[in-house]
Amino acid sequence: MKQFSIPNTYRSPFITALKAKRKEQDKLKKDDSPTRLPLGDLEIYLARHFGFCYGVENAIEIAFRTIDANPDKRIFLLSEMIHNPQVNADLIARGVRFLQDTYGKQLINFDSISKDDIVLIPAFGTTLAIEKLLTDKGITIEKYNTTCPFVEKVWNRSAQIAQKGYSIVIHGKPKHEETRATFSHAAATSPAVIVNDMEETIALAKYITGEKSPELFYTEFEGRYSQGFNVETDLQRFGVVNQTTQLATDTQAISDYLKQVMITHYQLTEQTVSQRFADTRDTLCYATNDNQSAVIGMLSTEADIALVIGGYNSSNTSHLVELCEQKLPTYFIDSADKIMEDGSIHHCNWQTKEQYHTAHFLPNKQPVKLLITSGASCPDAVVEAVIRKLAIQFSAEPLLDQIITELEDNL
C-alpha cells in the first residue's frame, strides 16, 4: 500500500512498530485478537486494526502539501477535512478557512471566493451542485480533491446499476457530508432515497408492499428522496449502497431485509431476484471492515472497560463505541487530555453527543483490564498519548518504555 507523507506529529514510532509486528505475524489478516500490553497493575489490550486509513492519510497529505506549495494563496476547505479535532485545528492554525460546517451550514459566503483561491474538497467528497459552483467560478478542483477512493467506489457502483435501470437506496446518516455527497451523485443518474436505519427501512418496505398509502411517503421521507421520485414506480427495482463508515452488520441486515421483501412481494426466486434487486456487493471500505472486525475480536477478551478514541462527530468511531457498549462499560474520548490526574474522565455519548464527567472511571481491582481502539481519522500519536497517560496513573511508564524499546529495536 502507498506510503503517505503526513506530519510526524500524527505518527507514533511505537504504534508503527506494533502494527508492523502484527502485520508480519498475520499477513493475511485472519487474526483479530488484540495486542496485550502488560503494564503491571494495568493490562491494555489494543485492537488488531485501528487508526488512520488510506483515505484519511491521502487527504492529509494533499492538504498539507497544498499549504506548503501555496504560501501566497488563500486556501479554503469546503468543510472539515476529516472528523478529527486535532487535524482540523492544525489546518486552521496553518491559515486554512472552512467554508461550511460539518452539516453544510455556510460559514463563509461562496461569493467571497474567486478563481485565484484554492478550495480543498474533503475526504467525504461533495455534491455535484457545489462542484459546479466552484468550477463556474474558475476554481480548479481536481488537483485539490481529497475525496476518499472508497467513497468514489460507492458512487461508481451507483452509476453502474443506474445504467441498468435500478433506483438507489442509500443506507447512511442523512446529514453526514458523505451521505449528502453520495445522494447527490446517485440522484444525478437514478431515483434515490436515503434510509438511516432498520426502522426506516421497514417503513420504506411498506410502500413497496402497498401497506402504506403512497402519498405518505413524501412526508415521511421529506428531504431524503431525489427530485421527481415516484414511490409507486421507483421502488419496483433498486439496489442498496451505503455511507462507507456505517456498521457492516447494519448495512447487510438492511440489504437482506429489502431483498427478502422484494422476493416475497414479487414472488421471485434466487434465479430471478436480480430482475428487481441489484447485487451491489459490499461497499464498505476496507478500514471500516477491519476496524469493526478487530473490535469484535477484541471484545472476546475478558476486560473491565473499553476506551474508544476519535472525533466526536466521526461516524466510523461512533460505531466502534456502539459495538463496545454492547459488551462492557465504554468511554468515548478524543484525546489524552480527557483522562484527568484525579482518576476521572471527560467523555462523550456517541448518540446524543452530550459530554459527561465521570469520577473514578477505573475499577478498584488489580489488574485493571482495559480495551483500546480508535477511529479511522484518529492519529496514532493520540493513541500513544492515551496509553502513556494511563501508564503514568499506574506508575507503569518504565514498563511501557521497555515495551516500546523492544518493539522499535526489532523493526
Out of 43, 178, 200, 322, pick the active-site residue.
178
CB 341 within 8 A of CB 364: no
3-state secondary structure 294-319: HHHHHCCCCCCEEEEECCCCCHHHHH
Dihedral sign from CA coordinates of 28, 34, 35, 36: negative
**Residue 333: helix, strand or coil by DSSP?**
strand
**Element at 356 (helix H, strand E):** strand 355-358
- CA dist 360 and 285 (Å) reads 37
- CA dist 118 and 75 (Å) reads 5
Q: What are the Cα distances from residue 155, in Å, to 121, 162, 244, 310?
A: 16, 10, 11, 26
- CA dist 281 and 305 (Å) reads 35
CB 6 within 8 A of CB 397: no
User: Measuring CA to CA, which residue among 19, 21, 42 is closest to residue 392?
Assistant: 42
Question: What is the DSSP code (8-state) at residue 283?
Answer: -
Where do the H-state alpha helices sit in 228-345? 248-266, 286-298, 315-325
Question: What is the DSSP code (8-state) at residue 42?
Answer: E
Set of cell numbers at residue 114: 474567486
**Element at 193 (helix H, strand E):** strand 192-195
**Element at 44 (helix H, strand E):** strand 42-46
**Residue 221: helix, strand or coil by DSSP?**
coil
222 classed as catalytic: no
The residues that are catalytic are: 178
